[in-house]
Amino acid sequence: MEIALTLGVQPGLLLMPKMTQPMTRRKVVGIDLGTTFCAMAHIDPYGKPQIIPNGESERLTPSVILFDGASVIVGTLAKNNSVAEAERIVDFVKREIGKPKEQFQREFNGKIYSAEELSALILRKLKADAEKYLKEPVTDAVITVPAYFNDAERTATITAGQLAGLNVLQIINEPTAAAVAYGLDKLNEDQTVFVFDLGGGTFDVTIMRIEGQGIHMLGTNGDHRLGGKDWDDVIVNHVAEEFDRAHGENPLLDLQSYQDLQSRALAAKIQLSSRPRTAIVHSHNGKSVKVELTREEFELKTRHLVEKCKTICEMVLQEARMEWSDINKVLLVGGMTRMPMVREMVAGLSSVPLVDDVNPDEAVAVGAAIQGILSLLREEETTGEKTLSEDTRRQFSSREGGLIQVTNITSHTLGVVLWDEAHLEEYVFPMIRKMTAIPATARNSFGTASANMQRAVVRIVEGESTLPAECTPLGLCDVELPAFLPKGSPVELTYEYNANQVLEVAVNASGNQAKVRIERNTGLAPDEVERATAGLGTIAVV
């Protein structure tokens, strides 16, 4: 099969300058922008990470938005109305972030909202609550995302932060943040950590190496539609069946009854984590049913969900070409890891000790807050400008271990579109494969598709498919070719992906060279933020 570069033109990615801010005192928070719940943390003046409670004095804020007339309500109040006012509610928006408006949009009060604008409303609430609690303006944030998020999803998360008035210092992977929270004082000990993160709506597994001053991702996988809600649904359906058996009526057809049952099921699930049995009483239309449920029965009914988690654990280990004996610790993250059946399954996978001295709901936000301070310290070192309080600087930089370098791996394959002459079709050749540690470099030589080609247009894409249409275009690198080149003349292609997630693609065709720099995850430029914020309006978020 002869491999040749295709010609063709496709719009490339816009290169956007980083957002700059006038230098003043800065306050950074770490935000775990979750599918079902958000958490926020900061570093207190004594150098200790602390969770910031929201305006309702809760440590976790439900990621639910209620459009209530001219104002927007985010959190528990919105969640409590999610069925009664379903048409004015947005939840699970994290699952939609990064999608263009053609694929996801919601309209309220005559305005169309994208997923990142809706996420910005959640972040606005978190920022406002933090400012009230801390009694100072919050300027910067480190926001966490699942390790499997692609470039569009990460960029949209940055944009959401910017729209909420935050300077997004960094987007870091949730398991990386959890490991930072866990490893801060223990970095003098090299270790390979398996992060098992089962939250309300997503499941993530990551293997990382904590070595000296660095955290290196070795592998990641997950299921972003598997979480605590699936366990809740099993109880909901079980009670509904019992209700139907007793009264010949499905209580789930009534929305209010459905919502009530959902909250009862969630409470029952949590009870079963500490008690061997529970009872769920459900009333609807003047009729009621009492369903007794033992932990054993519940575990039997949800065995398939735990098995799903187990398969993903084995898969990520295999993908990283590792054995359980290579793992030193298993770190439990996410509220669902409080459940005995989940802990037992993880404990049964190997004899590796489980680490649970980090609060599983809060570890991600705490790690992000720590990374935020480290980012600002690094900036201070570069610019010489002091933006942190003396106390914070002293407390934090004197910690053993000092600054942590977080090394990531590519979450998606970076490829080039080629022409397959044998099958007369385009396909994607992987240059830097998924899960390669970054920085990474790849070099390959290809032949020109025909004689006398005037230019070679290299189409750079991201994705796991070999079909160009199923990958995300990242940009173009266009090189003029010397005259009269025969077919199959060598075109050398180099991909360099650095630690700041900047991809540099260089093309060398018989001495003619071209280079393109694709700066990823940079969000909006200041003028674009201004325009977009104006578009979002001055909605009051409470």
By CB under 6 A, name the one of 222, 228, 251, 468 that touches ligand AMP. Answer: 228
Contacts with ligand AMP, 499-538, as mask; x by CB under 6 A: ----------------------------------------
Name the residue nearer to ligand AMP (CB basis): 153 or 232.
232
CB neighbour class for 398 (10 Å; exposed up to 12, middle 13-18, buried from 19):
exposed
Between strands 329-333 and 191-198, the pairing is parallel
Q: How far apart are CB 433 and ligand AMP at their closest, in Å?
A: 30
335 binds ligand AMP (CB under 6 A): yes
> Of 6, 1, 2, which Cα lies nearest the Cα of 416?
6
Tokens of 391: 């106390």
Helix 255-274 vs helix 228-247: angle between axes, to the nearest 10 degrees? 120
Q: How far apart are CB 240 and ligand AMP at their closest, in Å?
A: 19
Q: How far apart are CB 66 and ligand AMP at their closest, in Å?
A: 20
- 307 sits in the region (left: phi over 0; alpha: psi -120 to 50; else beta) called alpha
Q: How far apart are CB 178 and ligand AMP at their closest, in Å?
A: 10
CB 222 within 8 Å of CB 147? yes
Q: How far apart are CB 269 and ligand AMP at their closest, in Å?
A: 5
36 binds ligand AMP (CB under 6 A): yes
By CB under 6 A, name the one of 183, 200, 447, 463 that touches ligand AMP. Answer: 200
Question: Long-range contacts: 500-505, Cβ < 8 Å, 24+?
Answer: 501/408, 501/438, 503/414, 503/460, 503/474, 505/458, 505/460, 505/475, 505/477
Residues binding ligand AMP: what is the number (CB under 6 A)?
17
Encoded amino acid at 303, one letter: R
Residues 6+ apart with CB under 8 A from 39: 31, 32, 51, 59, 60, 61, 361, 362, 364, 365
By CB under 6 A, name the one of 336, 373, 432, 493 that touches ligand AMP. Answer: 336
Per CB under 6 A, the segment of 19-27, 169-177, 330-338, 434-442 that binds ligand AMP is 330-338
62 binds ligand AMP (CB under 6 A): no
| CA distance linking residue 330 with residue 440, whole number of Å | 27
| CA distance linking residue 274 with residue 268, whole number of Å | 10
By CB under 6 A, name the one of 339, 432, 456, 481 that touches ligand AMP. Answer: 339
338 binds ligand AMP (CB under 6 A): yes
> Of 418, 379, 34, which Cα lies nearest the Cα of 228?
34
Cis, peptide link before residue 251, omega less than 30° from 0: no
Beta strands in 313-448 (DSSP E): 329-333, 354-355, 405-407, 414-420, 425-432, 440-448
* 327 half-sphere exposure, CB direction, 13 A CA radius: 31
Element (H, E) at 291: strand 287-294
Contacts with ligand AMP, 257-296, as mask; x by CB under 6 A: ---------x--xx--x-----------------------
334 binds ligand AMP (CB under 6 A): yes
Name the residue nearer to ligand AMP (CB basis): 42 or 229.
229
251 binds ligand AMP (CB under 6 A): no
Name the residue nearer to ligand AMP (CB basis): 121 or 339.
339
Q: How far apart are CB 96 and ligand AMP at their closest, in Å?
A: 17
Per CB under 6 A, the segment of 31-39, 89-97, 419-427, 430-438 that binds ligand AMP is 31-39
89 binds ligand AMP (CB under 6 A): no
> Of 499, 482, 333, which Cα lies nearest the Cα of 410?
499
Per CB under 6 A, the segment of 21-29, 33-41, 204-212, 398-406 that binds ligand AMP is 33-41
Q: How far apart are CB 199 and ligand AMP at their closest, in Å?
A: 3
Contacts with ligand AMP, 358-387, as mask; x by CB under 6 A: ---x--------------------------
Strand partners, 33: 38
For the beta carbon of residue 247, count every other beta carbon within 10 angstroms.
15
Q: Provide the binding-site residues for ligand AMP, judged by CB under 6 A.
A: 34, 36-37, 60, 199-200, 228, 266, 269-270, 273, 334-336, 338-339, 361
